[in-house]
Chain A
């Protein structure tokens, strides 16, 4: 029943074969198509569960840097309400912006650090990390003395610290001045702020984890599942770009505790350190302690050859 007429070529053979019994076949095919579509809808029905966790407002929200002041206020109010609903905790989420004339840098005295791991724990609590997975932005590597080769170190050491033949190297986000993690992000969900802190908009990140692959310091963490924090343990002092409880499926990282440091406090890991190995401050302030250390000590950075230009320094006395 089908024969295609032609207008320009001399040969007008039918280009497609003839179909018999059109209507019966159509009915059978329609039946199969309906069956297939029904099975498909059933197969993806778990998506309905996922859709419940995302409100229309969340879905439509634009990039942090494009939100007007009113929009930001709305978003923050919504996030606070959601935390109350999902975690049963009353929290306040600030929108802390960089203080002009500030560039934060961090330094660790490796002669003093004894690997006790209090910083790791403090970070876990301060930043409302998932309790199950015991997440933290900091990893401490136990290294044999006499080498800077991380391959010989261990992040899973046990026993009494410090051990005589070891030294300890805490690693967290180095807030690189040339951050490869920012370059690779396809949607600009992560960027470097004026005070040197690299942040993530958790409501914009699509969770491709390219930044995680690009970071040479294992500083980024992905939310493989919804973080669980008991209401009583939720740290209520939060900020949009730092320690608010993260949604599932996005990447997060150390922000030098910007919800504290931009309010004039010190990072939680520094306050928790019992040995005083950690120093934090504004490098643009000529009288700061950190400035004095960087000018007068033997200072190292990690993986210098990669050209990431860390704002995180290590020194020995």
Chain B
């Protein structure tokens, strides 16, 4: 492993950079190896469950013709939000020229990469015929574009993945070469990624709110609600990640970004709650048949109450988290554990609200007003945990790749 001569072409040095980064990313303490081994095992359990699902048909899930999307699509929706939420680091850094955010903005971008990978895995897990995945590829398959929102989603998600791979890859590569990044090679892409982040979540919301036959989803507020909760869950995850990084590696310069993100959540979490409240007001004050899904969600319908505990847990978590975030002390160093707790609550709250609390009630009651309940099967949980483990693996490796950069604050 010799040094890279100045004249060596990128064709050979880029792969070398990737190889070297991966090599270093797999170096670590005993705790690191234990963590990765645990994730690998969980991932293998998930892979095995998925293989069984493909072999035996999706009968192994608890989905039905009435509730035809479940835990997978719920997680998919949430992960899109997480990916989009990473942009809340990019905006202060590049639109408001926050110098200290600049140094760590890459954490948000790496999170976006891991989250999109998980999104794609959740979609594949939900397909009845994953062997026909190629039918979706433009060129060799048949792409129902621009009519189907799902084709739009495929485009924007993959576009966002490529965009972030480029930005992260370029910045880290320049570090590796010891050169100063050339702004023309990444600033335009960073600006594009801000718009793009919003677009991935907008298109994903359109996926649901464009369905006239599903009154629970058919609301114009769905898109802003999606964005607001993404701007809670994304920053919440990054704060926890940064607290951990600081603990484990002693990297400095993270306190300022943590405070900035905390201030952002303070606003977005309230906007999110406000929108939930106005949606509930229109539903319940108006009444009629539109309200039945909301009724099912909050109080149960015809004695069926599977989602009620989920809903109230989410509400409890969201409100507690909101109150904590409003408290000024949370910005102080001494209250880090409380900040982490508030972030976890907001994160889990958003997960329930966007997943089980949004996808499932869209199907209950069904379009013929049957109330068929849905509780995810063990197989679905295994696959889900497997994909989460894989996502965390990607994120851990990605962060480790970036550590040398974070240790030595960038000059750009």
Contact = CB atoms under 8 A, between A and B. Distances in A.
Interface of A: 1-9, 11-13, 15-17, 19, 22, 25, 29, 36, 39-40, 43-47, 49-51, 54, 59, 63, 139, 141, 149-151, 153, 155-156, 171, 180, 183-189, 204-210, 212-218, 220-226, 247-251, 303, 306-308
Given A4-B177, A186-B148, A29 B48 contact: no
Contact of A184 (B24, B68, B148): B148
Interface stretch (B107-115, B126-134, B163-171): B126-134
A62 B369 CA distance: 38
A141 B370 CA distance: 10
Given A186-B148, A218-B366, A249-B58, A206 B212 contact: no
B6 interface: yes
A6 B143 CA distance: 46
Nearest to B33: A32
Interface residues of B, number: 76
A155 B368 contact: yes
Interface in B57-75: 57-59, 61, 63-66, 68-69
Contacts of B51: 43-47, 50
Interface in B1-15: 1, 3-6
Given A46-B55, A187-B135, A249-B128, A180 B212 contact: yes
A287 B132 CA distance: 46
B161 to A, nearest CB: 18
Given A186-B144, A223-B57, A207 B44 contact: no
A17 B405 CA distance: 11
Q: Which 9 interchain pairs have the tightest Cβ spacing?
A: A207-B128, A216-B213, A249-B128, A6-B178, A7-B6, A186-B150, A225-B57, A225-B59, A43-B48
B58 A222 contact: yes
A185 B144 contact: yes
Contact of A63 (B4, B24, B40, B142): B142
Contacts of A180: 211-213
Query: Which of A16, A205, A306 counts the most B-chain CB atoms under 10 A from its CB?
Result: A16
A25 B27 CA distance: 9
Contact of A5 (B4, B20, B133, B144): B4
B404 A186 contact: no
Contacts of A213: 68-69, 211, 214, 362-363
Contacts of B147: 183-184
B292 A151 contact: yes
Contacts of B23: 19
A249 B180 CA distance: 52
B175 interface: yes
Interface string B351-367: 00000000000110111
B48 A186 contact: no
Given A4-B3, A186-B148, A12 B57 contact: no
B400 to A, nearest CB: 11
A188 B141 CA distance: 10
Contact of B136 (A39, A54, A187): A187
Contact of B142 (A11, A49, A187): A187
Contact of B154 (A25, A46, A153, A186): A186
A2 B20 contact: yes
Nearest to B46: A43
Contacts of A189: 135
A16 B369 CA distance: 61
B211 A226 contact: no
B26 interface: yes
A217 B1 contact: no
A209 B363 CA distance: 13
B180 A8 contact: yes
A11 B177 CA distance: 11
B151 interface: yes
A216 B217 CA distance: 13
Nearest to B175: A15
Contacts of A212: 65, 68
A167 B49 CA distance: 46
A209 B129 contact: no
Contacts of B54: 46-47, 50
Contacts of A149: 289
A224 B150 contact: no
A1 B204 CA distance: 48
B1 A1 contact: yes
Contacts of B6: 5-7
Contacts of A226: 57
Contact of A15 (B55, B180, B370, B404): B404
A40 B128 CA distance: 22
Contacts of A7: 6, 179
Contact of A206 (B68, B129, B363, B369): B129
A43 B3 contact: no
Contact of B129 (A49, A151, A185, A249): A249
Contacts of B315: none
A249 to B, nearest CB: 3
A220 B65 contact: yes
15 contacts: A3-B3, A5-B3, A9-B179, A9-B180, A11-B178, A15-B177, A16-B24, A46-B56, A51-B131, A186-B144, A205-B129, A210-B150, A212-B65, A213-B211, A250-B129
